[in-house]
């Protein structure tokens, strides 16, 4: 059996992992397993490795954007490295990433820790979105009284 | 603090005793963080990496937790020194390969270690002996909260902490426990356990990741996903699973004591015999035999005083630890004889396994592991 990465050497390291009921197998040769850090107890997750194998296509299917405007990182670079270039890449390649992340994680939204400094502004953003949605509804149903209140609330939030 | 202070003193987690420390060697939690306006280390140009490093390093050194820290640029560490840190799980293998543009900062007790410009701008971890994931998480969470006040993290309202690798996005957290499971391996139940653990989205790896045949019967259990679940929930889930694994291991030990006492004693006796009398031993053999000694101590075949020397040998017989004393690179066969020599010296005073304990009938209190 040949190594999944270099496709030339004989595979000697066999990895199997089941994530949420999906079985994933990778066969590697000695050199590639070392290079990929399979022997590194801290850095290695099989998904990292798989990312480089199947994930690139997923990304490509997702979007047409070729390069991140912030850092110049391209889809081809992702294919090569399995890593992203910068924080903005998450926005640039959002469409492709969405499918990738969905298959990789438990959920699609972060529910954990939020940096204290950002917590306020994020909360406000969520509030703002809710108010705007309610305002639209109010206008659509010609409930102008509520709409006026909502509009004032939105203004108030914007000023803060 | 100088490097030799770190090299000559093993970390607290190697000596320390924690809850369930017989089976759970250590608990570790690491967080991945990045700065907002810089490219991730793997993509950043060298001058940008240096900029990032100089933005982060002083802030890390200024942490109260780091007031007696060892802080060093990657290029100022020798390959051997880096390897020692890898063997102690204080830096990753990937970080050991870094040169100019990276650094590591760790506290004196070696319970905290912060890598700068590894795969992410910041990789910070806390590690302690025994099963104490919750307190380890608290420790690193506190460091993270202190740093976020001074550094602009890359954080996305929907996706959470942004990381170079999409597998870490969200919490950026990987929590893991290193567990010693000789009886589950001996009784061939380990694969079932691994499969069961995998099914609920947790990963099991060997000490050095080589498939499932873990060296020294040591396994690392960790969370695999980071998005869509709270840190505390991930920790709680992992904790629960580890408790179950401990129970399985304990049951397997009792089972072996009752049903296959001779197999068990044979493993422990051979381990003792070979370790005491070998003149050449590679690190794989050493780890596997030390594992049987550790089991023998857990089961009361050796006095409790033997525990620390054996635990120390797990680390001291690793290739880089072996060579740090000699100050020169040794060939493989030289290492093997040195390793055997160190082990013989340490086990010189060890009594023979006390098999007077009646393992053939059931143990007096139904539990041979009391001590």
Residue B316 lies in a domain: yes
Asked if residue B26 belongs to a known ligand binding site, the reply is: yes
- Over 70: is that where the pLDDT of A46 sits? no
Q: What is the ipTM of this complex?
A: 0.83
Query: Which has the minimum average pLDDT: A141-155, B12-26, B234-248, B294-308?
Result: B12-26
Closest residue by Cα to residue B142 from B219, B65, B75, B203: B65
- CA of B144: which chain A residue's CA is closest? A115
- CA of B226: which chain A residue's CA is closest? A105
B residues 3-32 closer than 8 Å to A (CB) = 30
Whether B167 sits inside 8 A of A47 (CB atoms) is: yes
Q: How many other CB atoms are there within 10 angstroms of residue B280's CB atom?
A: 14
Whether A107 sits inside 8 A of B89 (CB atoms) is: no
DSSP state of B21: T
CB B13 within 8 Å of CB B127: yes
Residue B179 lies in a domain: no
Query: Which has the minimum average pLDDT: A1-10, A70-79, B48-57, B107-116?
Result: A1-10
Does residue A94 sit at the B interface (CB-CB below 8 Å)? no
Domain of B297 in residue numbering reads as 259-346
B residues 320-359 closer than 8 Å to A (CB) = none
Mean pLDDT of A115-136: 84
Closest residue by Cα to residue B295 from B192, B216, B357: B216
**How distant is the Cα of B25 from the closest Cα of chain A, in angstroms?**
14
- SS3 sequence, B88-137? CCCCCHHHHCCCCCCEEEEECCCCEEEEECCCCCEEEEEEEECCCHHHHH
Of A41, A43, A114, the CB nearest to B207: A41
Of A42, A82, A114, the CB nearest to B89: A42
How far apart CA A83 and CA B60 sit, in angstroms, is 25
Residue B178: which H helix or E strand, with range?
strand B173-180
Handedness of CA B35, B36, B39, B40 (dihedral sign): positive
Handedness of CA B50, B56, B62, B67 (dihedral sign): negative
**How distant is the Cα of B68 from the closest Cα of chain A, in angstroms?**
25
Query: Which has the minimum average pLDDT: A89-98, B12-21, B270-279?
Result: B12-21
A-chain CB neighbours of B39 within 8 Å are 71, 73, 85-86
User: Which pLDDT band, with edges at 50, 70 and 90, does B27 fall under?
Assistant: very high
Of A39, A97, A106, the CB nearest to B208: A39
Q: What is the model's pTM?
A: 0.80
Of A44, A87, A114, the CB nearest to B162: A87
Per DSSP bridges, beta strands B155-156 and B69-73 are unpaired
Residue B238 lies in a domain: no
Whether A87 sits inside 8 A of B203 (CB atoms) is: no
A residues 5-34 closer than 8 Å to B (CB) = 13-15, 17-21
- CA of A50: which chain B residue's CA is closest? B167
pLDDT tens digits along A101-121 = 988 898 999 999 999 888 777
Tally of domains within chain B: 1
Residue B292 lies in a domain: yes
Residue A29 vs residue B286, higher pLDDT: B286
Average pLDDT, chain B: 90
pLDDT of residue B12: 75
Q: How far is CA B158 from the centre of its chain?
A: 32
- Over 50: is that where the pLDDT of B368 sits? no
The alpha carbons of chain A give a radius of gyration, in whole angstroms, of 23
Residue B302 lies in a domain: yes
Residue B156 lies in a domain: no
Query: A6-29 burial, b if ≥16 CB within 10 A, otherwise e?
Result: eeeeebbbebebbbeeeebebbbb
Asked if residue B78 belongs to a known ligand binding site, the reply is: no
B-chain CB neighbours of A106 within 8 Å are 201, 225, 227-229
Residue B28 lies in a domain: no
Under 8 Å CB pairs connecting chains A and B tally to 172
**How distant is the Cα of B325 from the closest Cα of chain A, in angstroms?**
24
Of B119, B144, B227, the CB nearest to A108: B227
Residue B264 lies in a domain: yes
């Amino acid at each position: 059996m040949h190594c999944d990465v270099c496709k030339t050497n004989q595979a000697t390291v066999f990895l199997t992992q089941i994530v949420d009921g999906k079985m994933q197998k990778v066969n590697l040769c000695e050199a590639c397993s070392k290079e990929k850090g399979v022997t590194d107890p801290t850095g290695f997750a099989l998904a990292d490795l798989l990312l480089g194998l199947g994930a690139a296509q997923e990304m490509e299917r997702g979007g047409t954007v070729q390069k991140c405007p912030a850092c110049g990182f391209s889809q081809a670079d992702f294919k090569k490295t399995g890593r992203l270039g910068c924080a903005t890449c998450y926005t640039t390649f959002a469409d492709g990433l969405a499918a990738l992340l969905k298959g990789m994680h438990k959920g699609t939204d972060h529910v954990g820790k939020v940096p204290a400094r950002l917590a306020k502004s994020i909360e406000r953003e969520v509030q703002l979105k809710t108010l705007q949605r309610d305002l639209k509804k109010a206008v659509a149903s010609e409930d102008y009284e509520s709409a006026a209140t909502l509009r004032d609330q939105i203004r108030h939030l914007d000023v803060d | 603090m100088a490097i030799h202070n770190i090299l000559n003193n093993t970390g607290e987690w190697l000596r320390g005793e924690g809850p369930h420390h017989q089976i759970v060697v250590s608990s570790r939690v690491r967080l991945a963080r990045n700065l907002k306006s810089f490219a991730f280390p793997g993509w950043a140009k060298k001058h940008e990496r240096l900029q990032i490093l100089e933005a982060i390093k002083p802030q890390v050194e200024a942490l109260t937790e780091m007031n007696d820290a060892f802080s060093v640029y990657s290029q100022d560490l020798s390959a051997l020194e880096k390897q020692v840190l890898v063997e102690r799980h204080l830096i990753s293998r990937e970080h050991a390969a870094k040169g100019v543009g990276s650094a590591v900062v760790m506290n004196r007790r070696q319970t905290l270690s912060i890598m700068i410009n590894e795969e992410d701008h910041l990789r910070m971890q806390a590690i302690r002996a025994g099963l104490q994931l919750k307190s380890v998480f608290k420790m690193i969470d506190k460091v993270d909260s202190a740093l976020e006040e001074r550094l602009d993290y890359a954080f996305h309202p929907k996706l959470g902490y942004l990381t170079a690798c999409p597998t870490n996005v969200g919490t950026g957290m990987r929590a893991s426990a290193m567990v010693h499971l000789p009886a589950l391996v001996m009784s061939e139940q380990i694969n079932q356990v691994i499969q069961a653990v995998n099914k609920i989205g947790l990963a099991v790896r060997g000490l050095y990741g080589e498939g499932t045949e873990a060296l020294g019967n040591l396994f690392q259990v960790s969370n695999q996903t980071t998005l869509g679940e709270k840190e505390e929930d991930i920790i709680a889930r992992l904790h629960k699973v580890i408790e179950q694994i401990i129970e399985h291991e304990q049951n397997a030990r009792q089972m072996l004591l009752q049903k296959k006492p001779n197999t068990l004693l044979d493993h422990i006796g051979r381990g003792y015999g070979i370790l005491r009398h070998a003149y050449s031993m590679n690190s794989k053999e050493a780890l596997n035999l030390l594992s049987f000694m550790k089991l023998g101590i857990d089961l009361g075949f050796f006095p409790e005083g033997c525990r620390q020397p054996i635990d120390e040998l797990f680390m001291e017989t690793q290739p880089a630890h072996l060579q740090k004393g000699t100050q020169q690179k040794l060939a493989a066969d030289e290492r093997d004889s040195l390793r055997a020599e160190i082990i013989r010296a340490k086990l010189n005073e060890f009594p023979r396994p006390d098999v007077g304990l009646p393992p053939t009938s059931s143990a007096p209190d139904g539990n041979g592991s009391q001590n």
